[in-house]
Structure 1
């Protein structure tokens, strides 16, 4: 007789589940503790300092401070517009095949980027020491009457900004493929039409982000106009502190206004960048408002009870 062999397959034993043990990052905890300790020490130092925090909210909406904030806003806008217009012209001159115009543009950029804004403001404000009389042929007057603090601030900030904007615009124009220009010329478009209708609209994706950063920087750089007696925010805050002796408190007030203005224009810059990035191949990330709506809808669906059918 032959022995019968049991061919019943043995029950499969599942493999033991692997238990993953997370890596402990002790350095992160130490770094977090050090940062928190530093923040606590800074907070304690300012809380025990001789600062009258109670008057800060009153001066934030003071008429003199509001006037300074308004002057800061419009001098920065006008100087940025002047810098943008001149920057486009200088960028075109810089890329020109004409050696005279390209050399003049290079020299302008070299000079204004290589000298401090403060020095340029002081030069414009004291230009009457060099040219006491302004004589244009059809107009003649004393330079002291012409070169007001407003004009000195506008020229000092705007002409300096033009040097930086020209490089930004030039980089944006050069980012557009040359085939776009060739195709435009093949359609019979002139060089100005090609630049206005084809090149610049495509270059805006590259131009807009650094331009927004330049304007936010202009808001803060406009504080240097106080040295030429232009009544912007720092000048107004300094005038109040000289009579009230609340020096640090007025600087806190100025910081609040600068933070407010830069935050507003950072939001505007964000949506302008999204507008010009719509034609790119990359999908746009959701805006903060869209993310908020999505989270609220998820929360609403989670809290909504199911209806029995």
Structure 2
């Protein structure tokens, strides 16, 4: 009897604790919501943001062209990075110590050097190798003409993201890992603007130099990246749901 009463009291105390914690969580959530709404309202009312310019440039032809280049660059680099990552994983699991060592060295080097530094190195590769021969007699390629900013961007991003893919893809849920690689690749493409490539950020920076609308145009870039990343994550989520339904039907 005594044990029953003690258990009942413990249960009531536990439920009371949950109720207090729930009320506290609701109070914190309400406060954060109010702060967020206040921030959004201040942005809308802020004349320095020039909201009309933001809306007016969202569908600007140059901005749309930059968005399209960003999408194409993301798709190409993602495909190359995934292929590189799978090859590296195969090398690591081959059981050959030399192949495993080469794979580990690749992941260490290209996974450690910042992507921006890799892009700058590739864009200036002609300063180190003015002639590209591939060790083939009679082959002499002018690196200055061959390695254009676009090719340097593709090489730098693909090798860097390939190292990231090699670390991410061995996870049990490769679909989720692929989604993370896709989003990371999309975000990393913004770095190619340093090579004067007219991706989304590059176009925005070019427009800034002409009309000096720094904050409105950066807001345009931020909105578009939000749209693109949300779309990528949404596509991965739909693919995951389709896989789950397919597995359920096959049982």
Query: Normalising to structure 2: TM-score of the pair?
Result: 0.83
Query: Structure 1 residue 157 and structure 2 residue 157: aligned?
Result: yes
Map 1:192-271; keep pairs closer than 5 Å: 206-271=173-238
Higher helix share: 2
Give 2:5's aligned residue.
none
Residues 99-133 of structure 1: CA distance to partner in whole angstroms, max 9, x if unpaired?
11110001001111111111111110111111112
Task: Give the CA deviation at 1:279.
Answer: 5.9
Greater CA radius of gyration, 1 or 2?
1
Task: Give the CA deviation at 1:273.
Answer: 1.5
Give 2:67's aligned residue.
69
Distance 1:43-1:167 versus aligned 2 partners, 3 A rule? closer
Task: Give the CA deviation at 1:140.
Answer: 2.2
Residues 248-304 of structure 1: CA distance to partner in whole angstroms, max 9, x if unpaired?
111111112112212222221112122333465799xxxxxxxxxxxxxxxxxxxxx
Distance 1:39-1:148 versus aligned 2 partners, 3 A rule? same
Give 2:170's aligned residue.
170
**Alpha-carbon RMSD:** 2.4
Q: Please say which of residues 132-141 and 45-54 is displaced more in the overlay.
A: 132-141
Structure 2: which 5+ runs fail to align? 1-14
SS of 1:248's equivalent? helix
Distance 1:255-1:100 versus aligned 2 partners, 3 A rule? same
SS of 2:198's equivalent? coil
Map 1:92-171; keep pairs closer than 5 Å: 92-136=90-134, 137=136, 139-171=139-171
Give 1:85's aligned residue.
83
Query: Structure 1 residue 54 and structure 2 residue 52: aligned?
Result: yes
Q: Displaced runs of 4+ in structure 1, greater than 6 A? A: none
Structure 1: which 5+ runs fail to align? 1-19, 173-205, 284-309
Give 2:40's aligned residue.
43
Partners of 1:139 and 1:237 lie apart in 2 by: 40
Q: Please say which of residues 249-258 and 260-269 is displaced more in the overlay.
A: 260-269
Task: Give the CA deviation at 1:93.
Answer: 0.2
Aligned partner (choices 19, 23, 27) of residue 24 of structure 2: 27
Q: Quick check: 2:169–2:177 contact (8 Å CA) kept in 1?
A: no
Distance 1:65-1:98 versus aligned 2 partners, 3 A rule? same
Query: Normalising to structure 1: TM-score of the pair?
Result: 0.69
Q: How many residues align?
A: 231
